[in-house]
């Protein structure tokens, strides 16, 4: 197996923990919530074997990266600056950036704001949607109806933390199954709305006897749980608490397309992909450099973990098609 090298980078005034594999053109991998660098465990060796220098980071607030206390320290522009700091720390003039879940908007925005440094971008699960005219919290409240849409539920500091920290490992197992393609019929994405005053875990699907979905081992779950037992949950949840600030910060690039080469991979059973159908339909305008948009049949939210071989093949083909930097 390809050797994985852990290191801590001084980037944008904080510490960023990174895991590297391979040599060649740089590819930065950005995870989402509730994950870590480990969600790219299947991609690191595959990209290295294909001739690339892959770097999976722990986003600020996760794992062994710094976790600033202020909620506003997790706004989108801070994450973009972190990614630039990672390139500077690596001595990389340019890189391709790949993101999943919250990592996808971070990757999309990095390529939008700094196409000179991020020469291409791939987003998994969450399609690119330029900043619109409707404040996001208003849109999320409308999506919830009589219930709370999960992003609205995450807004109150301490509320979701209190639920999750009662049983971190059990909560992670619940969300990983419930948002995956392995969720029982009728259960997919039921967790996305929460009864007002209720808990998200009450909408999770019942776990199988094995305790984990088929694509996740008990050992994998142990790794994720240990990371959050170390870092806590507030850093990751604070990303959701900045959606309104992001909308204000990014007004200057409202409705702007991403012009660098791009790739999108979603799942046919994934909530963000399904909610983003209108955004996908607009790709000819919003992603003029799009090379492919692929929806994996039967795949849920955890794209690169549920379907690693297909994702690896798509990523390598995308990267190979770019040519040398």
Taking a C-beta distance cutoff of 8 angstroms, is the pair 110, 118 a contact? yes
**31, 53, 100, 301: which is the annotated catalytic residue?**
301
Given 101, 182, 246, 270, which residue is catalytic? 101
Residue 291 to residue 32: CA distance in whole angstroms: 23
- Burial call 133-169: b when 16+ CB within 10 Å, e when fewer: eeebeeebeeebeebbbbbbbbbeeeebbebbeeebb
Does residue 101 carry a catalytic annotation?
A: yes
Q: Which residues pair with 19 in a beta bridge?
A: 6, 56
- What does the alpha-carbon distance between residue 105 and residue 87 come to, in Å, rounded to a whole number? 18
Q: Are 127 and 279 in contact (CB under 8 A)?
A: yes
Task: Provide the H-helix boundaries in 189-307.
Answer: 218-231, 234-240, 243-249, 271-275, 277-281, 283-286, 303-306
How far is 311 from 9, CA to CA, in rounded Å?
27
d(CA 315, CA 322): 11
Q: Is 301 a catalytic residue?
A: yes
Closest CA to 140 of 265, 20, 246, 290: 246
Tokens 């053109």, located at residue: 25
Q: DSSP assignment, residue 206?
A: P
Which residues does the annotation mark as catalytic? 101, 301
């Amino acid at each position: 197996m390809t050797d994985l090298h852990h290191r801590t980078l001084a980037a944008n005034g904080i510490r960023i923990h990174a895991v590297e594999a391979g040599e060649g053109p740089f590819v930065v991998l950005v995870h989402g919530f509730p994950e870590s660098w480990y969600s790219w465990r299947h991609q690191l060796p595959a990209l290295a074997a294909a001739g690339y220098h892959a770097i999976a980071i722990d986003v600020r607030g996760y794992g062994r990266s710094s976790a600033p206390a202020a909620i506003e320290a997790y706004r989108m522009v801070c994450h973009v600056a972190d990614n630039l700091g990672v390139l500077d720390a690596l001595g990389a003039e340019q890189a391709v950036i790949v993101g999943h879940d919250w990592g996808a908007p971070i990757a999309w925005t990095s390529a939008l704001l700094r196409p000179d440094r991020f020469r291409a971008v791939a987003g998994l699960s969450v399609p690119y949607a330029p900043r619109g005219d409707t404040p996001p919290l208003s849109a999320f409240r409308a999506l919830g109806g009589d219930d709370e849409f999960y992003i609205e539920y995450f807004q109150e500091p301490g509320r979701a933390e209190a639920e999750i920290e009662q049983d971190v490992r059990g909560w992670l197992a619940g969300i990983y199954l419930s948002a995956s393609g392995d969720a029982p019929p009728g259960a997919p994405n039921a967790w996305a709305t929460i009864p007002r005053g209720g808990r998200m875990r009450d909408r999770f699907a019942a776990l199988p006897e094995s305790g984990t979905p088929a694509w996740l081992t008990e050992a994998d779950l142990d790794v994720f749980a240990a990371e959050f037992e170390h870092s806590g949950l507030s850093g990751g949840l604070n990303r959701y608490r900045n959606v309104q600030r992001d909308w204000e910060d990014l007004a200057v690039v409202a409705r702007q397309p991403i012009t660098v080469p791009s790739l999108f991979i979603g799942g046919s059973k994934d909530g963000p992909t399904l909610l983003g159908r209108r955004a996908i339909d607009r790709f000819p305008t919003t992603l003029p450099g799009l090379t492919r948009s692929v929806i994996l049949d039967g795949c849920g939210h955890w794209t690169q973990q549920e379907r690693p071989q297909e994702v690896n093949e798509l990523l390598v083909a995308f990267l190979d098609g770019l040519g040398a930097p």
